[in-house]
Amino acid sequence: MSRHLFIIEECGNDYKITGTQIQNDSFEFYNSEYYETHDADLFNYVEDSLNGNIITFSKEVIGELGQDDLVLTPVDPLIIRKSTAVTMGKYILKSRCDYTITFDFFQFQLLNNILVDNGYVITNQNRESKYLEIINTEDVDLINYLEQYLEVRDRIEIYYRFYDDYLTYVNLINESIDFDEIKAKYNTYSKMYN
């Protein structure tokens, strides 16, 4: 059986629906990113209404979301296209930076703390000398921690570059003046990750 999901973003006291998705039952999602509806008619209505409208609903909605809970605001098609392109770019970023990034940050903090606890505070200015100090100790465990630290640091650096590329992409999309330019910029961005 399929799940009918609205892709949502927080917007003050409301949620803004930025897209729709149909996923299988095993798809795991977080409430902050999606709203599941069991009403196929509502799903179709939203899907049809997204073209030409901003759709929001109050965070205060109790129970199942209904058509009466939705606020449709007509908007310039170029703005909608830009918003859609930004959202699609965000999902490309998310596919590159899955939830393991959280574990990488945790591991980095843990390893950094182990090195600090052993007297090695690594900064940009002393990085190389501290690496050599640790290697010269010939302490196998400490050297192991350093190797893991360097590996996870490299992974975090890659995530940062992905995010930086995304921010550049968002700026380029927001500066676009027509649909063709948006499409070209999206295609260029998406090809970076294929």
Per-residue 3-state assignment (H helix, E strand, C coil) for 84-97: HHHHHHHHHHHHHC
Domain limits at 17?
A: 2-75
**What pLDDT does 1 receive?**
67
**What pLDDT does 28 receive?**
66
Name the residue among 97, 77, 57, 83 with its Cα closest to residue 178: 77
Residues 131, 61 share a domain: no
Residues 186, 150 share a domain: yes
Residue 27 lies in a domain: yes
Residue 175 lies in a domain: yes
Residues 183, 106 share a domain: yes
Of 75, 108, 128, which residue constitutes the final position of a domain? 75
Residues 164, 111 share a domain: yes
Give the count of beta carbons closer than 10 Å to the beta carbon of residue 6.
24
Q: 25 in helix, strand or coil?
A: coil
pLDDT tens track for 89-128 = 988 888 887 777 889 999 999 999 999 999 999 999 999 9
**What pLDDT does 176 receive?**
94
pLDDT along the chain (194 residues), means of 10: 84 90 70 81 91 88 89 87 90 81 91 95 93 94 95 92 94 94 94 81
Residues 179, 109 share a domain: yes
Residue 90 lies in a domain: no
Residue 130 lies in a domain: yes
Residues 64, 122 share a domain: no
pLDDT tens track for 13-30 = 999 998 888 887 666 665
Contact partners, residue 172, CB within 8 Å, separation at least 6: 185
Residue 140 lies in a domain: yes
**What pLDDT does 91 receive?**
86
Question: In terms of pTM, does the model score above 0.75?
Answer: no
Residue 89 lies in a domain: no
**What pLDDT does 16 receive?**
92
Residues 54, 112 share a domain: no
DSSP-derived letter for residue 64 is: S
Q: What are the helix (H) ranges across the chain? A: 40-49, 77-96, 100-117, 127-136, 140-175, 179-191
Residue 9 lies in a domain: yes
Tally of structural domains, the chain: 2
Q: Give the N- to C-terminal CA distance of the chain in Å, as an integer.
A: 30
**What pLDDT does 95 receive?**
80
How is residue 52 written in tokens? 């030409």
**What pLDDT does 11 receive?**
87
